[in-house]
Structure 1
Amino acid sequence: MNIAVIGGGGREHALVRKFAESEKVDRIFAIPGNAGMSDVAEVIHGVSEKDFEAIAGVCLENEVEWVVVGPEAPLTEGIVDYLEDEHGIKVFGPRKKEAQMESSKAFTKELMEKYDIPTAKFAKFNDYDEAYKYIEEQGAPIVLKKDGLAAGKGVVVATDMDEALAGLDELTAGGTDDAQIVIEEYLEGEEFSLMVLVNGEYTHSFEMIAQDHKRAFDGDTGPNTGGMGAYAPVSHIGESHRTEAIEKIIKPVARGMVEEGLDYFGILYLGAMVTADGVKVIEFNARFGDPEAQILLSMMDDDFADVIEKVHRKEPFELSFKPGCMVGVMLASTGYPKAYEKEKYVEFESVRDNCYISGLGQDMDGRFVTSGGRVLLVTGHGESVDQAVKSVYENVAQVKYEDGDLFFRKDIAHRAL
């Protein structure tokens, strides 16, 4: 079969590499792809992930059997509806209505409230003054989220009142009333990421969880980012917590979506926290986490093209994963997640097989230059988490760039050590 992967980041790099291992897959088209995918896919640089008509043209011309959508933006804008309804192309990913599980935090919180899914208590606001008053009443710590897509950065975890009120200003751009804000109680505990394959009420939760590191700097400090590193498995969070998440969150949410007339098909990402009161939902995403996808797909032994078809047919199966542990460290442009410079040279040929490109392009001479905030995920594998951490930072040390151009966290997987 021929497969098209939509997107151009590290998550999509992991997907095309995974499909390249499949005996079922003949050709892989990466639209628009990135500079690191050409060894495993046919990269269609000239087509934007938002140009649905051009994407359909590539798929029809090349007899693509499955389209797999990586990022959240085209899902939210209805790429699945367009490809399926207008052209009859099969897509692995939720339609626009179902993608509200990520695109509208208010929608998702209300769904959880209705179906008694354990999550932080919340309130939503369109009015700046009302939100300000609520924060003053609740006090800190408190969590503020902008309703809608924000690439992992539209969240402020405020530890004191000054941070909370500054966060409100930031998320409402100084008080505009067209930006709905969701304000949540602060949950304490250990976070984990669970990827779930969903087809209506049918669900298959990954047998392995991962842990992401959202904050920009060591010690879980600094602003929220799209993810500065991840690792799996998470041995200090027991199987009982994964099972609890499936029984108390995943299955009820799938049933609730069906009750609400939703027909979800694709990956549902659960960001969960183990609290003193049990496992609770932090967030849902309508696609693979990034960088968790890079780690989990690298660890997965199964043919992912085969997995998608089994989910499509609602067949039972088990996923198997390689032994040991894998850790990924994100190299990011200095200044990220706020303003940063681009066009900085990066050289990583000696560890290329251990890297996933997130934000790199190439200059006229073929040299890699930065093009985004998160630049390169470097991975390392070991029999234990200690060995994997040692391996990944040895690999990071082989990436060459000018001092001050990039930064990375030096404590990825610290909670497991």
Structure 2
Amino acid sequence: MYGGMQARGHEVRVFVSDTASHGVFSGMLTRTDDWQQELGWVRQAGPAGLILFETANHGALQDALRADGFQVIGGSALGDRLEAEREYGQSVLRQAGLRTAPSHSFTSYRQASEFLASRRQRFVLKFNGAGSPRTRNYIAQKDDSSDLTALLDFYAAHEAPESPPDFVLMEYIEGIEIGVGGYFNGVEFLETACIDFEHKRFFPGELGELTGEMGTVVSYDGSGKLRDQVLNPLAAVLRDSGYCGYINVNLMANVQGLWPLEFTSRFGYPGYAICERLHREPWEDIFLKMHRQSGLRFDTAPGFAVGIVLTVPPFPYTHGYEELSKGIPVILDEGLSPAERAAIAFAEVEMHQDSLITSGTCGYLGVATGCAPTVKAARANALEIARKVYVPNLRYRNDIGARVGEESLGQLRRWGYL
């Protein structure tokens, strides 16, 4: 996102708070070691000056900057709570008139195990905190959650005594998982909203640990009903909190209705890069349109975008990255066209002696994207791009979007949600 703005002639200065990630995009973007020293520079830009946050734990700071007259794209203190405190997020959804799956908060693995033993039904384990490792979350596979109980007992035997856990157990909902994302301008949602289908497990066939995201299907087509039913009821609470930015609600859909599960109160990875492939207006124009409240739509392409996350070991973990993969050369096919190069959104990379190498903390190389009128064709385009990136031990899923195009879209349309 920042690289695109810089390439289009805008002045961009990027602050990286995580010291372990200081190498990311080194040699590729203008960096600053102290973002607060840049506030005068931003203020001098007047209506063209923007500050963008991509986290869900600096909401109070964003609120303060807005109160001081700065144009801030990101979230708010409320947005942080919606994402980090799962039960609070569920309560806000219920107050907005949406139905939610029953969930129960815990700070003790033992108590949670006893609760499951008394219920003997299927639950989902989700940790609170925007920065909590997604790999620790778990969806029970057995109807009595005995496998989840065993995992909780394992966590209890290995927990650090000085830091009690903070998590919820949510009743499992059978259905199709889909997200709806919208751009809130401080007063209302833009009419332009997207739907997405995340693929969270590490291996094809939905096997392995929950990573956060290994690939996603995105479309701006057919989102109107979900926007009206899920996002618009939240407008009042977001308006009262001063929220201005992108927000996504992940939910389960079935014949009984829609069941919102969780918030993403920020630009998600790799969601922003996949959405951008469908944009016919650059990010800076969308942001200014939001701040100026000068329109409720921006131009998007029809059809679908598919993104495939590219990783190297030890992703999704961090331990051993220095020894296994950090600093490995990233080679692109010499026949890559400018359009194909634009379809690769790099993440943990940097320039070193005029060569692209891996950087960062865990081996999240980036995302290869493809666009087409159908999910099947967009998948094929994305896979073609992924095959033109050469990195030792590169891994990615080759089934992103397969079930979406073959099953999910048709069922959601039959249920009347799209």
TM-score of the two chains, using structure 2 as the length reference: 0.80
**Residue 209 (structure 1) aligned with residue 188 (structure 2):** no
Unaligned runs of 5+ in 2: 17-21, 407-418
Aligned equivalents of 1:232 and 1:391: distance in 2?
14
The one-letter code matched in structure 1 to 2:287 is I
The one-letter code matched in structure 1 to 2:131 is A
Once the two structures are superposed, what CA deviation does each residue of 1:172-205 show, in whole Å capped at 9, x if it has no partner? 7627563321110112222222221224551225
**Residue 400 (structure 1) aligned with residue 390 (structure 2):** yes
**Residue 192 (structure 1) aligned with residue 178 (structure 2):** yes
The change in CA–CA distance for 1:35 and 1:183 in structure 2 (over 3 A counts) is closer
**Residue 102 (structure 1) aligned with residue 83 (structure 2):** yes
Higher mean Cα deviation, 213-222 or 173-182?
Answer: 173-182
Aligned equivalents of 2:320 and 2:55: distance in 1?
22
The one-letter code matched in structure 2 to 1:174 is E
Offset of 1:123 from its aligned partner? 1.0
> Which runs of 4 or more aligned residues in structure 1 lie more than 6 Å from their structure 2 counterparts after TM superposition?
61-64
Aligned equivalents of 2:219 and 2:366: distance in 1?
21
**Residue 180 (structure 1) aligned with residue 166 (structure 2):** yes
Offset of 1:30 from its aligned partner? 3.2
Once the two structures are superposed, what CA deviation does each residue of 1:108-138 show, in whole Å capped at 9, x if it has no partner? 1222233332222111112333212222233
**Residue 347 (structure 1) aligned with residue 331 (structure 2):** yes
Residue of 350, 358, 361 corresponding to 1:361? 350
**Matched positions, count:** 383
Once the two structures are superposed, the pairs formed by residues 4-403 of structure 1 within 5 Å of their partners are 14=1, 16-17=3-4, 26-32=10-16, 42-44=29-31, 47=33, 52-54=35-37, 56=39, 59=42, 65-73=49-57, 75-76=58-59, 78-85=60-67, 88-150=69-131, 153=134, 155-160=137-142, 161-168=145-152, 174=159, 178-233=164-219, 239=222, 242-257=223-238, 261-338=240-317, 339-341=319-321, 342-343=325-326, 344-348=328-332, 350=334, 351=336, 352-364=341-353, 366-371=355-360, 372-402=362-392
SS of the residue 2:174 aligns to: coil
CA contact (8 A) 1:268 1:285 kept: yes
CA contact (8 A) 2:65 2:72 kept: yes
Offset of 1:72 from its aligned partner? 2.7
Aligned equivalents of 1:69 and 1:149: distance in 2?
14
The one-letter code matched in structure 2 to 1:306 is D
Aligned equivalents of 1:310 and 1:186: distance in 2?
39
Query: Which residue in 2 is equivalent to 1:5?
Result: none
Query: Which residue in 1 is equivalent to 2:410?
Result: none
The change in CA–CA distance for 1:27 and 1:370 in structure 2 (over 3 A counts) is closer
Aligned equivalents of 1:92 and 1:144: distance in 2?
31
CA contact (8 A) 1:189 1:274 kept: yes
Aligned equivalents of 2:233 and 2:56: distance in 1?
23
Aligned equivalents of 2:176 and 2:2: distance in 1?
28
Unaligned runs of 5+ in 1: 1-13
Offset of 1:286 from its aligned partner? 0.9
Offset of 1:28 from its aligned partner? 2.8
Offset of 1:142 from its aligned partner? 1.5
Offset of 1:156 from its aligned partner? 1.7
SS of the residue 1:273 aligns to: strand
The change in CA–CA distance for 1:270 and 1:180 in structure 2 (over 3 A counts) is same
Higher mean Cα deviation, 164-173 or 359-368?
Answer: 164-173
Offset of 1:248 from its aligned partner? 2.9
TM-score of the two chains, using structure 1 as the length reference: 0.80
Higher mean Cα deviation, 368-377 or 280-289?
Answer: 368-377
SS of the residue 1:225 aligns to: strand
The one-letter code matched in structure 2 to 1:348 is L
Offset of 1:253 from its aligned partner? 2.1
Offset of 1:284 from its aligned partner? 0.7
CA contact (8 A) 1:271 1:282 kept: yes
Offset of 1:19 from its aligned partner? 7.5
The change in CA–CA distance for 1:316 and 1:354 in structure 2 (over 3 A counts) is closer
SS of the residue 1:100 aligns to: helix
Aligned equivalents of 2:24 and 2:110: distance in 1?
46
Aligned equivalents of 2:100 and 2:160: distance in 1?
27
The change in CA–CA distance for 1:175 and 1:16 in structure 2 (over 3 A counts) is same
SS of the residue 1:129 aligns to: helix
Aligned equivalents of 1:267 and 1:181: distance in 2?
25
Offset of 1:409 from its aligned partner? 0.7
Aligned equivalents of 1:19 and 1:205: distance in 2?
28
CA contact (8 A) 1:198 1:264 kept: yes
Offset of 1:413 from its aligned partner? 0.8
Aligned equivalents of 1:290 and 1:374: distance in 2?
10
Aligned equivalents of 2:203 and 2:95: distance in 1?
37
SS of the residue 1:99 aligns to: helix
Once the two structures are superposed, what CA deviation does each residue of 1:244-295 show, in whole Å capped at 9, x if it has no partner? 433332122223455xx53322211111222221222121111122212111
RMSD: 3.1
Higher mean Cα deviation, 96-105 or 27-36?
Answer: 27-36
The one-letter code matched in structure 2 to 1:68 is L
Offset of 1:27 from its aligned partner? 2.3
SS of the residue 1:101 aligns to: helix
SS of the residue 2:299 aligns to: coil
Higher mean Cα deviation, 177-186 or 30-39?
Answer: 30-39
